[in-house]
């Protein structure tokens, strides 16, 4: 139900963004500024991504889950998952390309401001681990905790940003695809029940025990520091996560692998936040950049077989190294 609500909300926001396009007075403006054209650009570019992005993400998750059920490798499943929203994004871009180009080609008044309007495409490898892991039986008969489980990725985070930057600050919208999985490791978790009390148990977590997929939609704001050959800046960001958790194992309390089936397949909404230190090398109409990002993504799901059903919570903590290229949208 939460997922349906967020999709309805995204669709509503998309409609609101697109509303100005159908306004009969919208295109009667004769003196355009870059700011007004950029608003038109957002109203034409973002609705398609906001509407089709989550749907294509969910379809990709379904394709990846089917691949796991057929006995295919996690790498193949992740490839199917990633390619689906990327293909949808490409189709949205091609469908709206002419309309957007016509908007950006409108004549503008002389603009002597230093505002730089941009699009960014980026890749973001990271160092990550799953932290603060807790499990609580739905019938409250037991609970368990794990401090940390190492994680890795088959594909680095890929994403898109659009926004503007002045001499002192910047704001942009971000949309990205994120994939991680647990790494093989022996762990100690604290099992607690009225009958046993707290008991430390050793357990071996297999590789890809959890397969985590997320679509992130958020906003960044940053302050530009004094320039010295490169442009440094500091910022924060946050947004909504559409999370998927899949596994061939029912859950931490059920480590019997179910070959040829997807024993755990949960999807839900959460949130993520990050801070970042960035460096940009700005040329006339484009820039290259690197950002170092301490990041936290929240997960919550139900796992386990009927007799061991539990509510699970954990944080995916990352140090992201985002690199990309930004281009002036008016060139």
Instruction: Give the up-direction half-sphere exposure of residue 104: CA atoms within 13 A in the CB hemisphere.
Output: 17
Range 226-252 average pLDDT? 91
Q: Over 90: is that where the pLDDT of 159 sits? A: yes
| Relative orientation angle of helices 74-104 and 34-69, to the nearest 10 degrees | 160
For the chain, percent of residues with pLDDT exceeding 90: 51
State the pLDDT at residue 26: 45
Q: Helices H, strands E: what count in the chain?
A: 3, 12
Looking at the predicted structure, is the pLDDT value of residue 256 above 60?
no
Average pLDDT over residues 128-144: 89
What structural domains does the chain harbor?
Answer: 2-328 (2.40.160.20)
The whole model's pTM is what? 0.87
Query: pLDDT band at 19, cuts 50/70/90?
Result: very low
Is the confidence at residue 156, as pLDDT, over 60?
yes
Q: CA-CA distance, 99 to 45, in Å (whole number)?
A: 9
pLDDT of amino acid 23? 47
Q: What is the structure's pLDDT at 266?
A: 93
pLDDT tens-place string over residues 102-116 = 877 776 666 656 789
- The pLDDT, as a whole number, for residue 190 is 82
Give the per-residue pLDDT at 111: 60
Among 112-126, 281-295, 296-310, the range of highest mean pLDDT: 281-295
Measured between alpha carbons, how far is residue 217 from residues 41, 118, 133, 246 in Å? 18, 18, 24, 21
The dihedral through the CA atoms of 274, 321, 276, 35 has a sign that is negative
Whether the pLDDT of residue 21 is over 50: the answer is: no
Tell me if residue 254 falls in helix, strand or coil.
strand
Rounded mean pLDDT, 69-97: 91
| Per-residue pLDDT at 18 exceeds 60 | no
Q: How far apart are CA 246 and CA 139, in angstroms?
A: 23
Q: What DSSP letter does each residue of 11-66 carry, written as one string?
A: HHHHHHHHHGGG-TTGGG-SSB-HHHHHHHHHHHHHHHHHHHHHHHHHHHHHHHHH
* pLDDT at 17 > cutoff 60: no
Residue pair 104/330 in contact (Cβ under 8 Å)? The answer is: yes
* More confident position, 143 or 240: 240
Q: How confident is the model at residue 322 (pLDDT cuts 50, 70, 90)?
A: very high
Name which residue leads in pLDDT, 68 or 23: 68
Residue 7: pLDDT over 80: no
pLDDT at residue 107 in the model: 67
Task: Give CA separation, 51 vs 10, 71, 142, in Å.
Answer: 6, 32, 41
Does the pLDDT value for residue 272 go beyond 90?
A: yes
What are the pLDDT digits (tens) for 170-192?
Answer: 999 999 999 999 998 888 888 88
The rounded mean pLDDT for the chain is: 85
- What angle (nearest 5°) sits at the alpha carbon of residue 163, between those of residues 116 and 127? 115
């Amino acid at each position: 139900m939460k997922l349906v609500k967020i999709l309805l909300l995204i669709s509503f926001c998309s409609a609101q963004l697109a509303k100005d396009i159908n306004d009969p007075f919208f295109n009667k403006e004769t003196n355009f500024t870059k700011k007004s054209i950029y608003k038109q650009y957002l109203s034409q570019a973002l609705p398609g991504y906001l509407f089709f992005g989550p749907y294509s993400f969910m379809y990709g998750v379904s394709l990846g889950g089917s691949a796991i059920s057929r006995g295919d490798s996690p790498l193949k499943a992740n490839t199917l998952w990633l390619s689906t929203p990327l293909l949808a994004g490409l189709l949205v871009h091609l469908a709206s390309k002419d309309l957007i180009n016509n908007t950006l080609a409108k004549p503008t008044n002389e603009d002597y401001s230093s505002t730089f309007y941009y699009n960014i495409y980026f890749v973001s490898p990271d160092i990550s681990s799953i932290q603060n892991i807790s499990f609580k039986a739905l019938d409250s008969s037991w609970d368990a905790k794990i401090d940390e489980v190492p994680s890795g990725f088959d594909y680095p985070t890929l994403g898109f940003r659009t926004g503007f930057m002045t001499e002192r600050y910047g704001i942009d919208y971000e949309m990205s695809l994120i994939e991680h999985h647990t790494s093989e490791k022996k762990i100690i978790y604290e099992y607690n029940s009225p009958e046993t009390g707290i008991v430390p148990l050793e357990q071996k977590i297999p590789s890809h025990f959890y397969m985590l997929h997320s679509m992130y939609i958020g906003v960044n704001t940053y302050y530009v520091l004094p320039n010295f050959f490169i442009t440094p800046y500091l910022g924060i960001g946050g947004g909504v996560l559409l999370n998927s958790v899949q596994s061939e194992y029912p859950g931490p309390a059920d480590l019997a692998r179910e070959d040829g089936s997807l024993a755990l397949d949960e999807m839900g909404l959460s949130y993520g936040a990050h801070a970042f230190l960035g460096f940009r090398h700005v040329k006339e109409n484009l820039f290259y950049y690197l950002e170092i990002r301490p990041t936290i993504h929240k997960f919550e799901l139900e796992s386990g077989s009927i007799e061991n059903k539990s509510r699970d919570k954990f944080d995916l903590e990352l140090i992201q190294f985002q690199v990309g290229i930004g281009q002036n949208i008016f060139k």
